[in-house]
Chain A
Amino acid sequence: MNDTNPNAPQRAPDATSKPKLNRLFRLQFEPAQDAHVLLYPEGMVKLNQSAAQILLRCDGTRDIAAIVADLEQTFNATGLAPEVETFIAHAIERGWLEPSA
């Protein structure tokens, strides 16, 4: 009944993978929540600011290294790679992101 093995360990996204939002989800800003949210069939997840800023950059054209670089430049920060990678791995596990384009 299944053509792939879902129990196979999910390959951790490396710096060259280009994550993009799963088509089941829509990312938008909600004024009433004063936050970005992910909308999906009959549900909603409210995002904190860093989650939103990462997801906004996951458009399938940029690899994780480029996303980190962009975030570090935008927020005038350094050393964001571990946090970004952890979040992206979490988002892939939750099904919000697809690992690569």
Chain B
Amino acid sequence: MTDLSVAVQHAKADRAGIAPPLWLLAELTYRCPLHCAFCYNPVNYAEQRGELSTDEWLRVLREARALGAAQLGFSGGEPLLRDDLEVLVGEARKLGFYTNLITSGVGLTDKRLDALKENGLDHIQLSFQDSTQELNDFLSSTKTFDLKNRVARAIKAHDFPMVLNCVLHRYNLPHVDKIIDMALAMGAEYLELANTQYYGWAHQNRAQLMPTEAQLREAEAVVERYRKEIGNRCKIFFVVPDYYETRPKRCMNGWGSVFLGVAPDGAALPCHSARSLPGLTFPNVRDTPLADVWYESDAFNRFRGFDWMKEPCRSCDEKTHDLGGCRCQAYLLTQDPANADPVCDKSPHHEKVVRVVREAAQRGAALTADEQPVIFRNDANSRRLATEVTHKD
């Protein structure tokens, strides 16, 4: 939901034609009270130990701001589990960042809202899993629906701009109208209806979460109808899942182009999901200055530009538009992150995407009793999956 694409075209190239980062995502912790089945955190997150200290984060914030980053997201896991969040927000605001808190709402008490306000937090993005208690609580494997409702009221009572975020999939797509009604009733200024991207935990649960095309088109029509009715009152973003496209999305607006993520243990990532890619050594902010991470590191340079591309991307006249799509998706579906994103129907692997879509159609929208159970994001599942999946960080 950004206009950063506009900005980046005009961004001043700093070193060797590389524009500076605009977005710093500070993943403060992988700890989370929720266990969402579509979490984008790495499935082996439980193996990552040792969170950055307050002082280390403060240094990261200063270095990122000096590079040119203007947007800062505090995320996780649940960032409220860090009791130094207010200190980090305060410093970020003083540095001139626009500060976004991306939260489940668990732990967002009036007291903390007061302190965050005092420290200059600009905006809060609150997640819901559905408009119904039953599904919200099932998908997050918690009892948090009522709490989230209370938190939404408290956020508005503290006069924060609020983005409501709801990840969409086969279970909740039929509720899109109710989800929009909920956002309007809560006074959210933005509603982000993000169809599940199939990385991390969502990839594990793809068969259960993948919607049918009919579900998607219906939801899209509902969104369109609401947009016409509500005007500027609440801006609704609806991100179509790319399995249903024939051209890949311009992932992260380009590798090492806008986005700089820092994981809880200090690993610097060119995208949220990059940890799943083999053959890349991600620099750690504990021992590498952020300027070196961004401009010099192999990991951030690996998929910049076009030289890394294979066919059919290399000679494709659309490569400057979509940049070959998503590296993580290319790896997950073709086992080679330098391949074309198989969402593209020019990819020799596109059939794999078509098959997933066809299977979703056969499975249908209705949930049945004999479905494979959803795998929730929790420590036990993470440790089990870590032994099954080969990860190299």
Contacts and interface: CB of A to CB of B under 8 A. Distances in A.
> Do A and B associate with each other?
yes
Interface string B17-33: 00010100000000000
Report the contact-size class of chain A (Cβ under 8 Å from the partner): 20 to 34
Contacts of A1: 181, 184, 229
Nearest to B192: A42
Given A32-B70, A40-B161, A44-B2, 12 more contacts: A1-B181, A6-B230, A7-B231, A24-B161, A28-B96, A32-B12, A40-B123, A41-B1, A41-B161, A42-B71, A43-B1, A44-B3
Interface in A4-31: 4, 6-7, 23-24, 26, 28, 30-31
Chain B interface bracket (under 10, 10 to 19, 20 to 34, 35 or more)? 35 or more
Classify the interface of chain A: helix, strand, loop or mixed: loop
Contacts of B71: 39, 42-44
A33 B7 contact: yes
Contact of B70 (A23, A44, A95): A44
Nearest to B11: A33
Interface in B232-247: 232-233, 235
A101 to B, nearest CB: 18
A6 B73 CA distance: 31
A23 B177 CA distance: 27
A45 interface: yes
B360 to A, nearest CB: 29
Contacts of B96: 28
B98 interface: yes
B68 A43 contact: no
Q: Which of A4, A40, A45 has the most CB of B within 10 A?
A: A40
